Amino acid sequence: MRWAELDREACSVARTLSVIGDRWSLLILRDCFLRVRRFEEFEARLGITRHRLADRLKKLVKAGVLKRVPYQERPRRYEYRLTEKGLDLNAVLLAMVHWGDTHMAGKRGRPALYEHLDCGAIFDPVMCCSACGGKVTARNIRILAGPGALPAANDA
């Protein structure tokens, strides 16, 4: 399967990966959440080549995750900002951060901490059920075919 075919799968994981499933996209988005917005700034922070960066930014804009916003005229220059669709990726990033903190942290501890502004606590992100608010884990969920499942491939 090629990249271009991935978004046609009847699977939300595959469709999501068609947007963010490469080495750089999520690192670019991580920096977006840290309020990085300009081409040169991304380049300096990421260790990505200008070539790749230009290409990824273009793809993320096309996917509707980032938007290109002019911040000066003559010469016209643009910066890259998260759209609402992009901001919604926060949960994905947080889940990855939490997994990395739990399973990949070095002896010095986690690289970053998160403060919940609503309650003031340094917190861990936890996946919860929208109906009852209880924790969701691999062991207390069941997967069912939804309306968008293909007849011949009614998997996730």
Partner DNA sequence: AGAGTGGGTTCTAAATTGGAACTTGTCAAA
Partner DNA sequence: TTTGACAAGTTCCAATTTAGAACCCACTCT
d(CA 98, CA 102): 6
Which of 9, 31, 79, 101 binds DNA (CB under 7 A)? It is: 79
- Give dist(CA 79, CA 70) in Å, integer: 6
* Residue from 8, 50, 85, 135 binding DNA (CB under 7 A): 50
Among residues 34, 35, 74, 131, the one that binds DNA under rule CB under 7 A: 74
Please enumerate in sequence order all residues whose Cβ is within 8 A of that of 136, keeping only pairs 6 or more positions apart, or say none. 127, 128, 129
Q: Which helix (H) or strand (E) holds 70?
A: strand 66-72
Give Cβ neighbours of residue 12 (< 8 Å, ≥ 6 apart).
Answer: 156
User: Structure tokens of 27?
Assistant: 């690192």
End-to-end, the C-alpha distance of the chain in Å comes to: 17
Q: Which of 12, 50, 62, 77: binder of a second copy (CB under 8 A)?
A: 12
Stretch that binds DNA, among 16-24, 28-36, 91-99, 133-141 (CB under 7 A): 16-24
Q: How far is the CB of 14 from a second copy (least distance, A)?
A: 6
Report the residue number, 40 or 118, with the smaller CB distance to DNA: 40
78 binds a second copy (CB under 8 A): no
Q: Given the complex with DNA, which of 8 and 68 has the nearer CB atom?
A: 68
- Can you tell me which of 15, 30, 45, 52 binds DNA, judged by CB under 7 A? 52
Q: How many CB atoms lie within 10 A of CB 118?
A: 7
Exactly one of 57, 60, 65, 66 binds DNA (CB under 7 A); that residue is 57
Structural tokens at position 20: 């963010």
The site for DNA (CB under 7 A) is made up of: 1-4, 22-24, 38-41, 47-52, 54-55, 57-58, 68, 71, 74-79
